[in-house]
Amino acid sequence: MLVPLTPAGELLLTVRNSNLPSHAGQISFPGGSIEAGESPETAALREAWEEVALEPGLARPLGQLPAVLSPYGYHVRPVLAWLPEKPRLRPNPAEVAETLWVPLAELAAAPAWSEPRRVAGLSRRVWHYPWRDRDVWGLTGNVLHDLLTRICAAWDRKL
pLDDT tens per residue, range 9-18: 999 999 998 7
Rounded to an integer, the average pLDDT of 14-25 is: 78
Q: What is the distance between the alpha carbons of residues 156 and 159, in angstroms, rounded to a whole number? A: 5
Indicate whether 159 pLDDT > 50.
Answer: no
Residue 126: which of 68, 62, 78, 87 has the closest Cα?
68
pLDDT tens per residue, range 127-141: 999 999 999 999 999
Domain count, the chain: 1
Rounded to an integer, the average pLDDT of 98-110 is: 95
Rounded to an integer, the average pLDDT of 31-55 is: 95
| Domain ranges, residue 96 | 2-158
- pLDDT value at position 158? 56
Task: List b or e across 133-150, with b for residues whose CB sees 16 or more CB atoms inside 10 angstroms.
Answer: eeebbbbbbbbbbbbbee
- % residues pLDDT > 90 (the chain): 73
Residue 72: which of 25, 23, 30 has the closest Cα?
23
Q: What CATH number has the domain bearing residue 25?
A: 3.90.79.10
- Partner residues linked to 122 by β-bridges: 119
Q: pLDDT grade, residue 119 (50/70/90)?
A: confident
DSSP secondary structure string, 51-117? HH---GGG-EEEEEPPPEE-TTS-EE--EEEE-SS-------TTTEEEEEEEEHHHHHHS--EEEEE
**Which of 42-46, 65-69, 96-100, 103-107 shows the lowest per-residue confidence on average (mean pLDDT)?**
65-69
